[in-house]
Structure 1
């Protein structure tokens, strides 16, 4: 059983090892019919309240000696099975949070959405069957994969992932272009989806090559039943020049094509921004002045994934070659949040509706975007990795968080974090917050010492007797690098004190 001191760390490590199988054998093998895969998946996606709520009042693992679930665990074919019984028992005594009446619906650009969660314009929403499945599972809308007047020639392969240490999917690169279906096929998909799912929101993402195409595409998407038009000014790897991020980096082109789109529709228009600029506010303002209703941000970031030091090729490897592509996934979330904040902090854009995206995997990620002012959220990379089923924990996790915090609607905390992001010169600089060491939790690994000495201010020494860290207060500047690197979570923020005045 876990040490209570390190229970949270141990649970994270155990659930991280789960393969998150389709039609999970562990649940099918459980003689007590406990849906272990759903519990573990909720823990993986930070929906701890939901995981605990899935447990029965009497824990079936207490009188189960067979461990059939672990024998069926596919992870055991690789090395060791997930320690399912240990995970279940570890959370069994945690308090349950009752889900009260919480309203996740939200008004975005004048369109009512049953919840904030949309599929973003990509392969995850590129034909009728895919989107229909997502809608049935609870997704409120889709930004359908970008539609153009042309069908691009695609490459194979076109995806690659970045890993670090034991984490296999830190970031993700793609070199895929817009929809590989014909214009007629895509229009047929949209019409059928709107007919079958009238309450779901259809965002038609479009990309023209000139003013006439932008206007015509907007007309066609409006006639097809779309609720919102999204102008893709930001795809980073189109083979044609003058499209995608070539547009988004040029405020004049953004304005020109937004006006052209407005000519073709009365619907709300989202201008999808590229992060491959220093100041997103400039093209965003250009779009709004030209007739856009809101902003979508961010699209993927131009990237080169890696270099193979044996062959000197990079991924995705297409016959020994690759190209600059779009980087997405959890690793880009801080960059996306920065762009969102900057637009919301801009006087000309502070009241503009924003559809946020970039690294959203869990309900917590989603809540962070909402707290910085987004009113709608779009997700792709998480779905590509885990499937549409992530919507279950997105919805449940958000509802339980809102219930726990006493909110009744999702709109109540939109923008709550904005006042706490300030210019660097506004930060308090007259005091130091020293680290606080938990001697009971410290395992004596010395990581804090190494990082402080080699990357900090040499403010930690290690006790010769028991390897525990000792703070050298006169050298400590309160940077808290030690808090960040401690693997045992034995260091936390401590007392804040006024800085000593320098001796004259």
Structure 2
């Protein structure tokens, strides 16, 4: 990553991603600068370059877009001129219509992108808007035989430095609409959007309820049933993640659901367990057709050191809730790989979720074996509009790698996840310093000395120098470099090094 990429990311991240963006409305050349910046923020720089076209911004002298920028009301405006200048230097890649269709337990999906079961898909109007914008389907907010009495507030975020929403916590329960209202949403959606996929997420408190809910949802037009065995903040014994950690209960309730429907069944797994394999296997034995993973992680967040409450703060109290957002993605990928590595589950369809914000995140899940992906937290932050870059970015990735369909790279990364004992430990890969790009900040020195192996010194020009005899090739220096001036260098066998 060079200077331009660093500047582009840092400046674009300052954008507020406004609704009805004043910068775009002020542009006399009709440049959709809001869409361009949004594409940059969602790892779709190629798409941003395509939208910019012949760069009419190059001749702009009045800077009306920057004058209209909402950020200027409390800070300096986003430097739109710099963003468009950097984007314009990218290679122009025409639009590419790759085949994004995929399959979920035999149900055809126009693309892999679904809303996951949550507030983002909780009534007709919301889901209809998402369908109109291009989402393939929805896992509707979980329904049951009861409606919960919710608390307020029920959301909180975890931030780091200037980045909000590194993590997100909720203490929300299942749908607050009545069962009949939810079933009416299904009927209307299926009538008006017959090609879209409706996953009915259900939760019962006993076998009879699971059977009844499955039957009612099938009659109302659902395409798939998702068993919520994993919600971490349900009130009441035998609900949510209390089910998911009990393989025998998973078996009994999945069997009850199968009794009530002929539709494909997904068992939604909880990450609040050491291994998902035992309950996942039991779900398949009981008649499930696929799995969904992961649900949110049990968490406590943001202790207020003045009054010692935690967030979300409900009259000075809170409770254990579900943690989601970008920070949980590595955990989700680990669980998905674990299930795909088991002989009994390797061919089972998985709908993946957990920390997906961009097309790149989604492609990672697909490469580890997921045929579809589900998204909530990113939609809560940025809206349904993110589907534009999810689809466009994935298409451009597929073109670059000559993938004709999503199935061409589904599970392609699985073989590269191997046991730790099987990793090649015969060499050291030394870091490589680009001293032209290096700005002399010394971050690599500080991290290597205080958190590594004291293998870096700074020369008289405040540039890093590697002390090879101490370097173990951990690449901490590469990870912390803020300007991308450290890369992977030469691989040297440990045998050769020991001879010296």
TM range (shorter): over 0.9
**C-alpha deviation, 1:102, in angstroms:** 1.2
The match for 1:33 is 30
- 2-structure distance, mates of 1:107, 1:438: 45
Picking from 68, 78, 82, the partner of 1:82 is 78
Q: Quick one: distance in 2 between partners of 1:82 and 1:446?
A: 28
- For residue 416 of structure 1, what is the aligned residue in structure 2? 412
The residue aligned with 1:180 is: 176
Q: Is the CA contact 1:101–1:408 (under 8 Å) kept in the aligned structure 2? A: no
Matched-pair contact (CA < 8 Å) for 2:2–2:485: no
Aligned positions of 1:20-419 closer than 5 A: 20-57=17-54, 59-419=55-415
Aligned to 2:479: 484
> Aligned-pair distance for 1:260?
0.4
- Deviation of 1:478 after TM superposition, in Å, equals 0.4
Of 8, 11, 15, the residue aligned with 1:11 is 8
- The 5-angstrom pairing of residues 458-469 of structure 1 reads 458-463=454-459, 465-469=460-464
**In 2, Cα distance between equivalents of 1:68 and 1:388:** 28
CA contact (8 A) 1:340 1:356 kept: yes
Question: Residues 393-416 of structure 1: CA distance to partner in whole angstroms, max 9, x if unpaired?
Answer: 001111111112211111101111
Look up the SS of the partner of 1:54 in the other structure: helix
Whole-Å Cα distance in 2 between the matches of residues 400 and 96 of structure 1?
Answer: 12
State the TM-score, normalizing by the size of structure 2: 0.99
After superposing on structure 2, the runs of 4+ consecutive aligned residues of structure 1 that deviate more than 4 Å are 501-504
- Partner residue in 2 for 1:426: 422
Query: Secondary structure, in 3 states, of the residue corresponding to 1:162?
Result: strand
Q: Secondary structure at the match of 1:484?
A: helix
Q: Deviations over 1:137-188 (max 9, x none)?
A: 0000000000000000000000000000010110100000000000010010
Superposed CA offset, 1:355-411 (max 9, x none): 000000000000000000000110000000000000010011111111122111111
Provide the C-alpha distance between the structure 2 equivalents of 1:112 and 1:41, rounded to a whole number of angstroms: 29
Q: Distance in 1 between matches of 2:277 and 2:43?
A: 32
Which has the larger displacement, 86-95 or 152-161? 86-95
SS, match of residue 355 in structure 1: strand
Per the TM alignment, residue 503 of structure 1 is displaced from its structure 2 partner at its CA by 7.1
Contact 1:98 1:403 in 2 (8 A): no
Structure 2: unaligned runs, 5 residues or longer: none
Cα distance, 1:60 vs structure 2: 1.6
How big is each residue's C-alpha offset from its partner over 1:477-500, in whole Å with a ceiling of 9 and x where there is no partner?
000100001111111110101013
Quote the Cα distance in structure 1 between the aligned partners of 2:492 and 2:65. 52
| Residues 50 and 95 in structure 2, CA contact (< 8 A), matched pair in contact too | no
SS in 2 for 1:10: helix
CA distance in 1: counterparts of 2:2 and 2:102, whole angstroms: 41
The range that moved more, 95-104 or 407-416, is 95-104
CA deviation vs aligned residue, 1:31-87 (integer Å, no higher than 9, x gap): 111100000000000011100000122x22222110000000001112111000110
The 2-side partners of 1:94 and 1:279 are apart by 44
Q: Secondary structure at the match of 1:375?
A: strand
Q: Give unmatched runs, 5+ long, in structure 1.
A: none
Provide the C-alpha distance between the structure 1 equivalents of 2:174 and 2:61, rounded to a whole number of angstroms: 53
TM-score, normalised to structure 1, is 0.98
Q: CA RMSD in A?
A: 1.1
Q: Is the 8 A contact 1:371 1:413 kept in 2?
A: yes
Q: CA deviation at 1:502?
A: 4.6
User: Conserved in 2, the CA contact under 8 Å of 1:259 and 1:291?
Assistant: yes
Q: Distance in 1 between matches of 2:76 and 2:465?
A: 38
Shift of 1:93: 2.3
Would you say how many aligned residue pairs link Structure 1 and Structure 2?
Answer: 499
CA contact (8 A) 1:98 1:400 kept: no
1:495 aligned residue (474, 478, 490):
490
